[in-house]
A and B are shown apart, each in its own frame.
Chain A
Amino acid sequence: MKPAPFAYHRPATLDEALALLAEHGGEAKPLAGGQSLIPAMNFRLARPAVLVDLNRVAELGYVRAGRDGLQIGAMTRQRAVERSDAVRSAAPLLAEAMPFIAHPQIRNRGTVGGSLAHADPAAELPAVMLALEARFRARGPQGERWIPAGEFFTGILETALGPDELLLEVVVPKSPARTGYAFAELARRRGDYALVGVAARVTLDRRGRCQAARITLFSVGDGPVLAAAAAAMLDGQEPSPEAMRAAADAAAQRDIDPPSDIHASAAYRRRLAAVLTRRALARAVERAAQASQ
């Protein structure tokens, strides 16, 4: 047996799942796709005393294009999001990023909520949700609350969720007119965690100037990083190649403080951040221009 012993619960409803988590306090962990939790348990890096398996809680698996935006249930499989027409039309940035998460065999099990709650600094979804200004709905013994993406990720593998709170859904707001997106990352091999990745959203004004840019980078710090200095440089500017290059350089030099590790040095990560941000901005601007026609 690889994982340490635990008590296993398989609730059929959200209420039951929440009651189980409340009953066991910090001893219990929710099990979503298991693609991060089970490897950690196999190596006994995680030894939860109680597992609350969410896989039978059918009410948490859905993708809906609603009036307020795109709603995605926490237990929606990553593969389902990747294949969803609703996602492709309502959140093209998300659709573009999905195939970069691990391999199809992992995405067949891995969930959207699991990836966000796990909050790996090298993960794609946290950066995408931060770029899209998504809002997260969570519920615990204290009731329900909404958490903006900007307040959700609090550190390496840490989020604003309490131990007895469940992430229920993510809502991606509708995008403004004349908006374009792009996602880019570099990994040693397709499916590996990115050395550096970037998500960009650009909205142009009627004259083709940059009205608002939102750029997030990942695998460069403790969590997804909002490149505020880079975005500010583009505000009100003509999105020329020079302006985009300057903004990308600012992202790499001012907005991030990347780590050196066995995968890449900090200097190499900065270099990648500049190049990938420049490419992502160029594509996002091009798509925003197309969307303006």
Chain B
Amino acid sequence: MDQQVPIGVTVNGVRHERAVEPRLLLSDFLRHELGLTGTHVGCEHGVCGACTVLLDGDAVRSCLILAVQADGHELVTVEGLAPPGGGDELHPLQAAFREAHGLQCGFCTPGFLMTLVPFLREHPHPSEPEIREALSGHLCRCTGYQGIVAAVRLAAGSAP
């Protein structure tokens, strides 16, 4: 039973066409088929948040979507945040994470970033409780979250 389904997806502005087995998860498609290994995989049941990507602008768990379901949709992964061109310039949120010690090992970071991009679009000046609530769908085993909260504040330009 190896049904192959042709799909076409746009990832970080680039169109990709592939034939995939229906049971291939979107997270594994991004990592193994497209080589976009910035999307991390922690738990594969929606809890850790490491695999979060944008699907048509909304943050979703890529471990809980089949690659076939992304057919015809637009995705953004952490690789799509920094300005194109391959230089050293970071997305302002990435820069804030570096500045405020929002990461240590970095395993959780891509997921946090992909949740926070739409969050900051909707809440340009979030309060601390709003920030903490926004982070609640992600696990970080290193930072104790304080640096991440500070990074969000920094990126939002809100006073500490």
Contacts and interface: CB of A to CB of B under 8 A. Distances in A.
B63 to A, nearest CB: 7
Interface in B17-49: 21-25, 28, 44-46, 49
Interface string A1-25: 1111111101000000000000000
A155 interface: no
Given A1-B23, A1-B24, A106-B137, A7 B3 contact: yes
Interface in B118-155: 119, 132-134, 136-137
A34 B133 contact: no
A191 interface: yes
B23 A5 contact: yes
A105 B23 contact: no
Contact of B45 (A39, A53, A103, A190): A39
Contacts of A1: 21, 23-24, 28
B58 A108 contact: yes
B136 A105 contact: no
A109 B137 CA distance: 14
Contact of A35 (B5, B64, B69, B119): B64
Given A2-B25, A8-B5, A108-B58, A103 B66 contact: no
Contact of A39 (B2, B24, B64, B134): B64
Interface residues of A, number: 30
Contacts of A43: 44-45
Nearest to A103: B137
A39 B3 contact: no
A98 to B, nearest CB: 14
Nearest to A106: B46
B60 A105 contact: yes
B115 interface: yes
Contacts of A39: 44-46, 64
Interface string B84-123: 0000000000000000000000000000000100010000
A3 B23 contact: yes
A104 interface: yes
A2 B60 contact: no
B59 interface: yes
B115 to A, nearest CB: 6
Residue among B60, B64, B137 facing the most chain A CB atoms (10 A cut-off): B64
The 5 closest A-B pairs by CB, nearest first: A103-B137, A8-B22, A39-B45, A190-B136, A3-B23
Interface of A: 1-8, 10, 34-35, 38-39, 41-43, 51, 53, 55, 79, 102-106, 108-109, 189-191
Interface of B: 1-3, 5, 21-25, 28, 44-46, 49, 52, 55, 58-61, 63-66, 68-69, 115, 119, 132-134, 136-137
